[in-house]
Amino acid sequence: MKIALSVVFVALLATPLVIRRYQESKAFAAIQGGQAQALSRYGFYLQETAKTSGINFVHQAPTLDAKLRPIMEQVASMGAAVSIVDFDRDGWEDIYVVNSKEGSHNALYRNQGNGTFRDVAAEVGLADLNLPGTGVSTGAVWGDYDNDGFEDVLIYKWGEPELFHNDGGKHFTRVTEQAGLPPWLNANSAIWLDYDNDGKLDLFIAGYYPEDVDLWHLKTTKIMPESFEYAKNGGRKYLFHNLGNGKFEEVSERLGISSRRWALAAVAADLRGTGYADLFISNDYGVSELYLNQGGQSFREAGKEAGVGFSPKSGMTASVGDVLNTGQYAVYVSNISEEGVLVQGNNLWMPKAGSPKGIVKYENMANTFGVELGGWSFGAQFADLNNDGFLDLYVATGNVSLDPHRSYWYDYSKVAGGNQAIISDAANWPPIDGRSLSGYQHKRVWISDGQGRFQEVAQLVGAKDTYDGRSVAMADFENRGALDVVVANQRGPVLLYKSTVAPGRHWIELELEGQRSNRSAIGAQADVFWNGQQQLQEVSGGSGFCSQNQRRLHFGLGKTTSVDRVEIRWPSGARQIVTSPQIDQIVKVKEPR
């Protein structure tokens, strides 16, 4: 008996090693092969082409108050951001990237239609936005707030937010004061949405640090979160209702949004099929929040009710996608997983079938679907990268890459577990002293089989960088039906991963334009039906981490050679059906008046 028991005991101890060996052998098998194999196996590969495309942008981090010097790299670890827009309506998607060093310039890379880009930010007035004393940029979102046909831009900052009106794609005019934006905030997230479907885009901005904190002139070092997982001492939230005359009215508290959690990402989508945009917020140092839109009149926080408001983690992205082609959105939230230290796991919130009316219940299926462990994950986006008809997932990872041989994790975890009085004071945080904190991490490219399993293929398909990834955005830069990936890296270069998709895979892209609805069509939903399948997508005014994909909706169709129909639900409530649209091309659809 003793011998048998001892054998069992040894077998139990060996179990984790066996599991790991098995998983590593699978991963090793996956990384064998080159582009041809990636193309045949996974249907696409990525090639990093930023420099050859004319993009030579390197993000620089700010230098904050000297009181934060010991932990500067950790505090100033965000700011790299990318958003996609066709700012001059020439039919080619452009790239806007922000910088975060005092005095540094943002860049607007105009797509020249030949595979190259040229920075025109200075020419159009969108470059010099990080002047000392005004704070630094942390992101930008585009939306046509005055319905003149050209996308305007909000640049949010740790500092003075800026709203610019797009003057016919030629120049941008600063309209911050007229719009009524606050003089100072510390935001890492903002999105355009039309929460009341009145045809005018509203604006949601989520604060991270409190708005009375000037990170360059600190009155106190007690500016840090009061808890690693339950913090409610962050920045306020703003919901600006568009009054239609270039002015906005701040209505967040009146409409039920009063959180002071440390928001890092927000996404608006019609999660319940009500016709109104609900608001999902991913919070660092705490649980996510779900604000249900009450018919455009108010919001009701229902995170716990929906199942997403438990098990606090470190939310850093918010992305929605119809993962199983069921016409319902899942929500992806990135978190932290560091081997042997903290295994939060990312969340894939899948809607449960049979949820009660008026609410959607979610279940975290990240583990089952295989999209859970992504290191220190930041921005993530759903997109059909291989045009097989199912949404894949690109996740940027890595936090602070300094000395690769010394880790800050021990000291970080020491103070992170401390009581409020300790953790909230930056003076108590041990110096980072040139050490890395989850640095030099490999990215995650998870491709979906459409049946609820994702496979990680980043190394094989060419996403091999180890920069500190932050913001991810998708766009079809060459109008050829393949989604390229732009990644903004903290203290690193902007990367442009050009995608090559295997031949024989079809696609359709929808360019929607609102007439009764907001002209950007943000919030419009398109349900594409083909070959017995269906996929729902929504035009987004910002998603992921500090990012915005192209507004155009991209659907992969696999080997199917026709689409049955496209059902469009406009924010105005209008419904439109496009029957048998041409595939392998961009289809422009205007909302009927």
Partner 1 sequence: MRRPPDEQNAPLPPSRSAGVKPSIGRFFSIENRYLPPLLITLILLAGQVKYGLLESFSRTALAIATSILLDIILGRLVLNKWPHVASAYITGISVGILLRSPEFWPYALCSAIAITSKYVIRWHGRHLWNPSNFAISAMLILAPAYVATLSVQWGNEIWTMVIVWILGALITWRVRRFHITLTYVVSFLAFSAIRSSMVGDSFLAEVAPITGPMYQLFIFFMITDPRTTVSSKRGQILVAFLVALAEMILRLANNIHAPYYALTIVGPAAKAIQIWMNSRRQTAAETPRPTVSAPV
Return residues touching partner 1 (CB under 8 A): 1-2, 5-6, 8-9, 12-13, 15-17, 19-20, 226-232, 287, 310-312, 338-345, 366-367, 372-373, 407, 409-411, 413-423, 425, 427-431
Tell me how far, at minimum, the Cβ of 527 lies from partner 1, in Å.
32
Distance CA 170, CA 428 (A): 50
Q: Which lies closer to partner 1 via its Cβ, residue 340 or residue 532?
A: 340
Q: What are phi and psi of 163, to 5 degrees?
A: -110, 130
Q: Are 474 and 485 in contact (CB under 8 A)?
A: yes
At 415 the three-state DSSP class reads helix
Distance CA 361, CA 369 (A): 18
Tell me how far, at minimum, the Cβ of 13 lies from partner 1, in Å.
6
Tell me how far, at minimum, the Cβ of 287 lies from partner 1, in Å.
7
Amino acid, res. 13: L
Q: DSSP letter string over 516-545? A: SS-TT-TT-EEEEEETTEEEEEE--S-BBT
Q: Which lies closer to partner 1 via its Cβ, residue 419 or residue 451?
A: 419
Tell me how far, at minimum, the Cβ of 356 lies from partner 1, in Å.
21
Q: Which lies closer to partner 1 via its Cβ, residue 81 or residue 302?
A: 302
Tell me how far, at minimum, the Cβ of 60 lies from partner 1, in Å.
29
**Structure token digits, residue 258:** 């009063």
Q: Which lies closer to partner 1 via its Cβ, residue 138 or residue 334?
A: 334
Q: How far from 558 is each of 21, 500, 506, 547, 563, CA to CA, in Å?
A: 34, 15, 5, 27, 11
Q: Which lies closer to partner 1 via its Cβ, residue 244 or residue 417?
A: 417
Q: Which lies closer to partner 1 via its Cβ, residue 191 or residue 423?
A: 423
Q: Which lies closer to partner 1 via its Cβ, residue 15 or residue 56?
A: 15
Select from 539, 566, 569, 572 the least CA-distant residue to 85: 539
Q: What are phi and psi of 147, to 5 degrees?
A: 55, 40
Q: Which lies closer to partner 1 via its Cβ, residue 258 or residue 420?
A: 420
Tell me how far, at minimum, the Cβ of 304 lies from partner 1, in Å.
9
Extended beta strands in 325-443, E state:
330-333, 337-338, 342-343, 347-351, 362-364, 377-383, 392-397, 403-407, 435-436
Tell me how far, at minimum, the Cβ of 1 lies from partner 1, in Å.
6
Q: Which lies closer to partner 1 via its Cβ, residue 26 or residue 254?
A: 26
Tell me how far, at minimum, the Cβ of 76 lies from partner 1, in Å.
20
Q: How far apart are the two ends of the chain, measured CA to CA in Å?
A: 82
Tell me how far, at minimum, the Cβ of 151 lies from partner 1, in Å.
39
Q: What are phi and psi of 531, to 5 degrees?
A: 45, 45
Select from 133, 132, 139 the least CA-distant residue to 154: 139
